[in-house]
Amino acid sequence: MIYEEAVALAMPFEEALARTKEAFAAEGFGTLTEIDVQATLAARTGEQIGRYVIVGACNPELAGRALQAEPRVGVLLPCNVVVRETPTGAVVEAMDPGVMATLVGTEAIRPIADEARRRVGDALEHLATSTR
């Protein structure tokens, strides 16, 4: 099962993170949370990894519609977007919102997930094409 979409970016990590937030904001997603996984692992376990941030992105209009259709869907929100450092720049990975519809099994969620999937895909496409 494919549960994420990804795009590789040939740019410094900090620029990739900033552009990711901008691309998702252009599609109506705000940043609810930002988890610095590299710092958290280093502080709590001593493990050293490359730069890795999880952005908790949320489109309030879509989230509200989804919660109205199925209140339990909140366990799958917000949409996690990962920005991680690679030897050639960064990779941005986002959960496929279609997975939400599959897991929940409530038919009313499907059109909401489809719209979220389109918006996530558009944000990733914007990232991919704006760096060429």
Q: Per DSSP, what are the bridge partners of residue 33?
A: 56
Within 8 A by CB and 6+ apart from 11, the residues are 19, 89, 90, 131
* Residue (of 22, 33, 16, 3) closest to 117 by Cα position: 3
Q: What percent of the chain lies above the pLDDT cut of 90?
A: 88
What does the pLDDT read at residue 81? 98
Pairing status of strand 79-86 against strand 30-36: unpaired
Mean pLDDT of 49-68: 97
Task: Identify the band that residue 1 occupies on the pLDDT scale cut at 50, 70 and 90.
Answer: low
Residue 132: is its pLDDT beyond 90? no
Question: Which two tokens mark 34?
Answer: 């930002």
Q: Is a pLDDT exceeding 90 seen at residue 121? A: yes
Look up residue 35 and give its two tokens.
Answer: 């988890």
Task: Check residue 52 and give its pLDDT.
Answer: 98
CA distances from 86 to 47, 91, 102, 104 (A): 17, 7, 31, 33
The topology (CATH level 3) of 4-130 is: TATA-Binding Protein (3.30.310)
Per the structure block, which two tokens stand in for 12?
Answer: 């410094």
Answer yes or no: is pLDDT of 131 > 70.
no
